[in-house]
Chain A
Amino acid sequence: MSGAFRTASGGRIDRTQPILFGFDGRAMTGFRGDTLASALLANGVHLVGRSFKYHRPRGIVAAGSEEPNALVTVDRGGGRLTPNLRATQLELRRDLKATSQNRFPSLDFDIGAVNNLFSPLFSAGFYYKTFMWPASFWKHVYEPLIRSAAGLGRAPTEPDPDRYLHRYAHCDVLVIGAGPAGLAAALAAAETGARVILCDEQSEPGGSLLAETEARIEGRPAAEWAAGVARALAGQDRVTVLPRTTAFGWFPDNLIGLAERVTDHQDRPDPRLPRERLWQVRAREVVIAAGAIERPLVFPGNDRPGVMLADAGRIYANRYGVRVGDRAVIATAGDSGYRAALALLGAGATIAAIADLREDPAGAAVEAARQAGIAIRPGTAIAGSRGGHRVTEASLRRIGGSDRVERLDCDVLLMSGGFTPAVHMFSQSRGRLRFDAALQAFLPGKSAARERSAGACNGRFDLEGCLDEGFTAGAAAAKAAGCGSPRTRRFARAGAVPAPGGFLGAVPGTGKGKAFVDFQNDVTAKDLQLATREGFRSIEHVKRYTTTGMATDQGKTSNMNALAIVAGALDRPIPEVGLTTFRMPYTPVTFGTIAGASRGMLFDPLRHTPIHDWASEHGAVFEDVGNWKRARYFPRSGEDMHQAVARECTAVRMAAGMFDASTLGKIEVVGPDAATFLERMYTNAWARLAPGRLRYGLMLNEAGFIMDDGVIARLAPDRFHVTTTTGGAPGVLNHMEDYLQTEFTDLKVWLTSITEQYAVIAVQGPRAREIIAPLVEGIDLSPAAMPHMSVQTGQICGVATRLFRVSFTGELGFEINVPADHGRAVWEAVLQAGAAYGIVPYGTEAMHVLRAEKGYIIVGQETDGTVTPADAGLDWAIGKAKKDFVGKRSLSRPDIVAPGRKQLVGLLTHSPQEVLEEGAQLVADPHAEIPMRMIGHVTSSYHSAALGRSIALALVADGRSLLGQTLYVPMPDRMIAVTLVAPVFYDQEGRRLDG
């Protein structure tokens, strides 16, 4: 019931737990412990997808993460759609629903397959050659066409409802891979008491041991030994064992990225678990025990469903109890084919023949096959295959012999070109690879990071060697991490057979037809040869031209064959041609894993002021200012923004308004040299500012451009309360610390951010004093005792306050600083006290209008990093007698004093109700030819309720000399005439400041 190709016994599947699953809508049954691939094969399904370019039918090739073909989309419902999952890694679970990709309308009948008929058109560099001209076709014809045809799978369209989490971890020894070498390494390191993390991409530790049926280690069957060792390791306090966890990326200073698949294999995952977890492991030492990947043979028709890697055939038989076919032909360059043949034989298949590229195959595996009566064809190459949706025939040809071809019926064709050590992580660590001529493989050479490789990824393919080398590497890593040494341990073992031998490149003497090198990107041996004929010499160029090794599998099965073919075509040795760069990720990582919890309310901190909740409860509309939410306006029922802002502005001018200014940056500058420090950081003079007084401060960067501004209070001879813009606060503090720590190191002064210590309530308007008077204790509010630009400390509503008399509206105004916890209560008390006077809360929009009516600049709105004090009309804020301040020297640079700089001016539109667009450009001649010369731009623009018309601020070249003249703002449909005026629109004399 779990498939006709399931063996009667054996494997690591749980035959008591049958599992129903669906593939392309067809219901099938597998067992717990199956992968989707093994379950499909058990049901006789090989055809699982269509190829990228030619839409050729494709089958399962491998049994692990190197699988190039069997990519499926899994829909777990409710937006949980994941494309491009490898069926060979996808653990079977209840109701798993997978669909094949890259086909329409169905896998069996795919319209795109016509591409295969036109395949001569699709040679290497097809896109570059075909879509060259006419150039105008690119955007509207070629690109949409290519985009619709390209790609593997389809991206989900709904938000991902699953949870993802990150975990930072630290260890002495990280072991990548839990095969024999990795397990031995972890054992050695753990014994020293080192903190060890052991990760493996498979569902259980053991690696290659999981498919061993004969090998025994320390007296136990190999897989059982592996499970026991992993259990023992996981039970230790300082060891973390992570199955289903792929080490995908190597970052500086031994930070390794691991992607853990936490729940996808579970029938009903607990929603409190993250679906996947990104581990960022900082490892003192790393042992790479990543194993090796079998290479396909490159021959015509090597991509037919039913053509598989030999070791995959063996793994499906031994680990999953699946017979990948009834009648197998095996083409091999080494012992792997023989081991596979024996495994398949054991699983009940017939072996038609083994074709061995070697002239005189010998050794234990060969002998065992011979004993089992398997027909062996030495010195014989696989020449081709036949079949539609499944291979039906293999043809063999004697190497160097006649053209006679032996045709053998089969339903599975296993191939082995030998094994490629998985040096991906080593290479990512910037270690240098060396070419081992005997093994015909690249192996880890000179290290660049604190790591060592062991086992098959280091070119050791025998079990004993893997165990010993792993243990030695684990011990050495622990020692290098400062953790002592383990006792020596020999792993008595028996039975496992090494599988040496291999072949790189295209199998010689084959016939016509496509011999695929890169299955996933549909690159053939011919494409590579063509690229070299067309002049490509660098392997990096060949890769990009042909796209070999560029798909989601990053050429795991193809790179070495491609390299050998290119080297052959160029007639150069392989190491001279060199490898392409290995890049992360080793296997694809989901965006969810990378994003982790950083989404929704955890994407970024949302900063709220102490008065935020009141504003929210009273219908405020908010805007984002940096990470802050600020109340923009407070609409009453039926009001739109324009009406609300006009009402708020009018209230401030006629009676009073209150404004939450808590987000303003605040820095307490304390120390005997506080005034001297401010002298150097701000353009203004501070030394003679009396305690109890405020002054507007202008901060420049060293290049002389306006960086920030704010009001600064002198609380005591050695204590200032500095305010900054909301957005500038962190930058200003950093800028000050920079100069204090590295330039003005002689000064005794310290800076403390008090932005969040205080809630700030601005009360502005002619009635402001009367409103707060009854709430204040210990402060004389009279104009004589507390004039404009002064500060007093005392109490308000029983709470300590630093009370500023200051105005950013042009009206009589106060800013009440109270400890933040009390902010809301004081706000409500002021509101209550002001009710009789008609006080209204106002937001940032009204604040902007009110200050623009007065021509007060906002740094970042009127300035853009290129505006000097003179440009902004702030010459008066520069302490002329000061010897130095940051930016002073730059103010006399030739470019800064040259004529033609943009200067701040006011604009009045000729039609008073026309509100200009901020950012609009200004021109002198409305009839000039396009492109017109632009001489300025609008920085702020509003409707002013107080003036009953629109106002704007602008930066215009030599603007101050153009006052009274008319300029023009070109818009798409019209030209707006404006008159240049001085940038103060309201109460030019400043009488209102005193109420």
Chain B
Amino acid sequence: MLLIPCPHCGARPENEFRNAGEAHIARPAEADDAAWADYLYMRTNPKGVFIERWRHIHGCGRFFNCVRHTVTDRIIATYKAGDPRPSLDVLRAWSEHAR
């Protein structure tokens, strides 16, 4: 059971949370069929640093973003929904750190 740092409540056991898939996937206002299918179904599924959404469903109820390393399962950082995606440099540094 992971210990997940909720940006609002602090570190809490994983059973209070629910994963909500990849983060920073914008809902397109306009999209042709291919772009819309991409939005609906295509995800990056990387080996390494991954930004995903979690909801503190049995806590404050907030959705938030979480940077997790998919190989080590280590959570590197969490930040509130709506906050900007970390820069590539930051992600690269985190990736090194989490290896």
Residues of A near any B CB (own CB < 8 A):
251-253, 255, 280, 282, 430, 448, 702-703, 734, 737-738, 741-743, 745, 889-890, 893-894
CB distance from A285 to the nearest CB of B (A): 14
Partner of A448, one of B18, B33, B72: B72
Bound Cα distance from A430 to B3, whole angstroms: 17
**Is B1 within 8 A of A738, CB to CB?**
no
B55 touches A745 (CB 8 A): no
Contact partner, A894, options B18, B33, B72, B81, Cβ 8 Å: B33
- Contact between A890 and B36, CB atoms less than 8 A apart: yes
Q: Give the residues in chain B near A893, CB-CB below 8 Å.
A: 33, 36-37
Whether the Cβ atoms of B27 and A743 lie closer than 8 Å is yes
Which residue on A lies nearest to B41, using beta carbons?
A: A703
Q: Are B1 and A741 in contact (CB under 8 A)?
A: no
CB < 8 Å neighbour of A890 from B18, B40, B73: B40
Asked if B9 is an interface residue, CB under 8 A from chain A, the answer is: no
| Alpha-carbon distance between A204 and B27 when the two chains are bound, in angstroms | 61
CB contacts between A and B, total, < 8 Å: 45
Instruction: Report the Cα distance A702→B55, complex, angstroms.
Output: 19
Contact A282 B3, beta carbon cutoff 8 Å: yes
Residues on B with C-beta less than 8 A from A430 are: 72
The smallest beta-carbon distance between B67 and chain A, in angstroms, is 15
Is B17 in contact with chain A by the CB < 8 A criterion? no
Instruction: Fill in one digit per residue for B63-99: 1 if any A CB lies within 8 Å of its CB, else 0.
Output: 1000000001100000001100000000000000000
For A745, list chain B residues within 8 Å (CB): 81-82
Chain B residues whose CB sits within 8 angstroms of the CB of A702 once the complex forms: 27, 40
If the complex has contacts A893-B33, A893-B36, are A734 and B72 also in contact, measured as CB distance less than 8 A?
Answer: no
Q: How many residues of B contact A (CB 8 A)?
A: 22
Q: Cβ of B2: which chain A residues have Cβ within 8 Å of it?
A: 252-253
B55 neighbours in A (Cβ, 8 Å): 734, 737-738
Contacts of B36 in A (CB 8 A): 889-890, 893
Please state if B3 and A741 are interface contacts (CB–CB under 8 Å). no
**23 A-B contact pairs sorted by A residue (CB < 8 Å):** A251-B1, A252-B1, A252-B3, A253-B2, A255-B1, A255-B3, A280-B1, A282-B3, A282-B13, A448-B72, A702-B40, A737-B61, A737-B63, A738-B63, A741-B62, A742-B53, A742-B63, A742-B82, A889-B36, A893-B33, A893-B36, A893-B37, A894-B33
Interface residues of B (CB under 8 A from A): 1-3, 13, 18, 20, 27, 31, 33, 36-37, 40, 53, 55, 57, 61-63, 72-73, 81-82
- Shortest CB-to-CB span from A202 to chain B, Å, is 28
Distance of A304 from chain B, by nearest CB (Å) = 46
Chain A residue nearest to B4 in the complex (CB): A253
Contact A738 B72 (CB under 8 A): no
Q: Which residue of A lies closest to B23 (CB)?
A: A742
- Residues on the A chain within 8 Å of B18, using CB: 734
- In angstroms, Cα B37 to Cα A107, docked, is 67
Q: A702 CA to B2 CA in the complex, in Å?
A: 30
CB pair B81 A741 closer than 8 Å:
yes
Most buried by A among B2, B18, B40, B73: B40
A448 CB contacts on chain B under 8 angstroms: 72
Write the chain A residue with the least CB distance to B57.
Answer: A734
Complex CA distance for A110 and B32, rounded to whole angstroms:
75
Known A251-B1, A255-B1, A893-B36; further 7 A-B contacts with Cβ < 8 A: A253-B2, A702-B27, A737-B63, A741-B62, A742-B53, A742-B82, A893-B37
Contacts of B33 in A (CB 8 A): 893-894
Q: Which residue among A251, A741, A742 has the maximum number of chain B CB atoms within 10 Å of its CB?
A: A742
Find the residue from A702, A703, A889 having the highest chain B CB count within 10 A. Answer: A889
CB proximity of A334 to chain B, nearest CB, Å: 38
Q: Chain A residues with Cβ under 8 A from B81's Cβ?
A: 741-742, 745
CA distance A448 to B62 in the complex (A): 30
Q: Pick the contact of A889 from B3, B31, B73 — CB < 8 Å?
A: B31
Could you tell me the distance between the alpha carbons of A255 and B15 in the complex, rounded to whole angstroms?
13
Chain B contacts for A889, CB-based, 8 A: 31, 36
Chain B residue nearest to A255 in the complex (CB): B1
CB contact under 8 A between A252 and B73, given known A890-B36, A893-B36: yes
The smallest C-beta distance from A680 to any residue of chain B, in angstroms, reads: 11
Q: What's the nearest-Cβ distance from chain A to residue B17, in Å?
A: 12
- How near does chain A come to B59, taking the closest CB pair, in angstroms? 13
Cα–Cα distance between A893 and B1 once the two chains are bound (Å) = 40
**In the complex, how many angstroms separate the beta carbon of A252 from the nearest chain B beta carbon?**
5
Distance in angstroms between the alpha carbons of A713 and B63 in the assembled complex: 28
Nearest 3 CB-CB pairings of A with B: A253-B3, A741-B63, A742-B81
* C-alpha spacing A255/B27, complex, angstroms: 38
Shortest Cβ distance from B28 into A: residue: A889
- Measured CB to CB, the closest approach of chain A to B99, in angstroms, equals 10
Q: Are A703 and B63 in contact (CB under 8 A)?
A: no
Bound-complex Cα distance A741 to B13 (A) = 22
Identify the closest chain A residue to B62 (Cβ). A741
Nearest CB in chain A to that of B31: its residue: A889
Q: In the bound complex, how far is the Cα of B33 from the Cα of A629, in angstroms?
A: 44
Name the residue on B nearest A751 (C-beta): B61
Q: Which residues of B contact A703 (CB under 8 A)?
A: 40
Chain B residues near A255 (CB-CB < 8 A): 1, 3
Q: Which residues of B contact A737 (CB under 8 A)?
A: 55, 61, 63
The minimal Cβ–Cβ distance linking A451 to chain B, given in whole angstroms, is: 15
Measured in the bound complex, the distance between the Cα atoms of B81 and A386 in whole Å is: 73
**Nearest-Cβ distance from residue A120 to partner chain B, whole angstroms:** 46
The CA-CA distance from A253 to B4 in the complex, in Å, is: 9
CA separation between A251 and B3, bound complex, in Å? 11
A946 to B50, CA, bound (A): 58
Write the nearest CB–CB distance from A179 to chain B, whole angstroms.
Answer: 29
Chain B residues whose C-beta falls within 8 Å of the C-beta of A890 in the assembled complex? 36, 40
Complex Cα gap A255–B72 (Å): 15
Inter-chain CA distance A280–B2, complex, in Å, is 12
Bound: A890/B37 CA distance, A: 9
Minimum CB–CB distance from B68 to chain A (whole Å) comes to: 11
> For B20, what are the chain A residues with a Cβ–Cβ distance below 8 Å?
738
B41 to chain A, nearest CB (A): 8
Q: Given the complex, which residues of B lie within 8 Å of A894, measured CB to CB? A: 33
Chain A residues with CB under 8 Å of B62's CB are 741
Contact partners of B72 in chain A: CB under 8 A: 430, 448
CA distance A745 to B73 in the complex (A): 30
Residues of A within 8 A of B27 (CB): 702, 743
A282 and B4 alpha carbons, distance in the complex (Å): 13
Q: In the complex, what residues of A have CB within 8 A of residue B61's CB?
A: 737
- Within the complex, the shortest CB–CB distance from A281 to chain B, in Å, comes to 11
**A742 CA / B24 CA spacing, docked (Å):** 10
- CA gap between A890 and B28 in the complex, in Å: 12
- Can you name the residue of chain B whose Cβ is closest to the Cβ of A740? B63
| CA of A610 to CA of B63, assembled, Å | 32
B3 nearest CB across to chain A (Å): 4
- Chain B residues with Cβ under 8 A from A743's Cβ? 27
Name A739's closest neighbour in chain B (CB-CB): B27
Residues of A close to B31: CB separation below 8 A? 889
Least CB distance from A270 to B in Å reads: 31
How distant is the Cα of A251 from the Cα of B14 in the complex, in angstroms? 12
In the complex, A741 Cα to B54 Cα: how many Å?
12
Q: Which residues of B contact A282 (CB under 8 A)?
A: 3, 13
Residue of B nearest to A168 (CB): B13
Measured CB to CB, the closest approach of chain B to A258, in angstroms, equals: 14
Contacts of B53 in A (CB 8 A): 742
CA distance A741 to B40 in the complex (A): 19
A251 to B27, CA, bound (A): 36
Report the minimum CB–CB distance from B35 to chain A (whole Å): 10
Minimum CB distance partner of B30 in chain A? A889
Q: Which residue in chain B gives the minimum CB-CB distance to A892? A: B33
Contacts of B82 in A (CB 8 A): 742, 745
Inter-chain CA distance A448–B73, complex, in Å, is: 12
Shortest distance from the beta carbon of A33 to any chain B beta carbon, whole Å: 38
From B18, B36, B72, B82, residue with most partner A Cβ within 10 Å: B36
Distance between A984 CB and nearest chain B CB, rounded to angstroms: 33
CB distance from A681 to the nearest CB of B (A): 13
Nearest-Cβ distance from residue A693 to partner chain B, whole angstroms: 30
CB-defined contacts of B3 to chain A, threshold 8 Å: 252-253, 255, 282
